[in-house]
Structure 1
Amino acid sequence: MPQRTPVARVCRDCDGFPIVAITTGTRPPDGTRHTLRIACPTCRGTGRTAPAGLVRAGR
């Protein structure tokens, strides 16, 4: 008998793309661009959200 594994849900805010690179527009002398890596605040950079029954509430 096959075992069912819980399906991880894709984050609704980032659609599974949790970390993005944003260019600042400035360039150092070597010609590359400065970038910032920003993680999704909802899923904290994982791209997945926990099912509602597994979310810890309270202290």
Structure 2
Amino acid sequence: MPQHAQITRVCRDCDGFATAAITIGTRRHDGTRVTLRVACPTCKGTGRTAPAGVVRAGR
């Protein structure tokens, strides 16, 4: 039987990988690296986009 594809609205800018951990180069006393967590500015860290009907347009 054919299977239906799921319709998911993945963010175009981050392709669903909404947050990234970036090392800044320094290390802590225990040897681990200091990292920054950065969220996608388009989807605000959710990995998905809102449907067109949900987005509010106007002033």
Which TM-score band (shorter chain)? 0.7 to 0.9
- Cα drift, residue 46 of structure 1: 0.5
Structure 2 spans left out of the alignment, 5+ residues: 1-6
What code does the residue aligned with 1:46 have? T
Quote the residue 1:11 is aligned against.
11
Structure 1 spans left out of the alignment, 5+ residues: 1-6
What code does the residue aligned with 2:29 have? P
Structure 1 length-normalised TM: 0.80
What value does the CA root-mean-square deviation take over the aligned residues? 1.2
SS at match of 2:36: strand
Quote the residue 2:55 is aligned against.
55
What code does the residue aligned with 1:12 have? R
What code does the residue aligned with 1:18 have? A
Identity %: 77
After the TM superposition, which segments of 4 or more aligned residues of structure 1 sit over 2 Å from their partners?
none
Q: Could you tell me whether the CA contact under 8 Å between 1:8 and 1:51 is conserved in 2?
A: no
Quote the residue 2:45 is aligned against.
45
> What is the number of equivalent residue pairs in this alignment?
53
Structure 2 length-normalised TM: 0.80
Greater helix content: 1
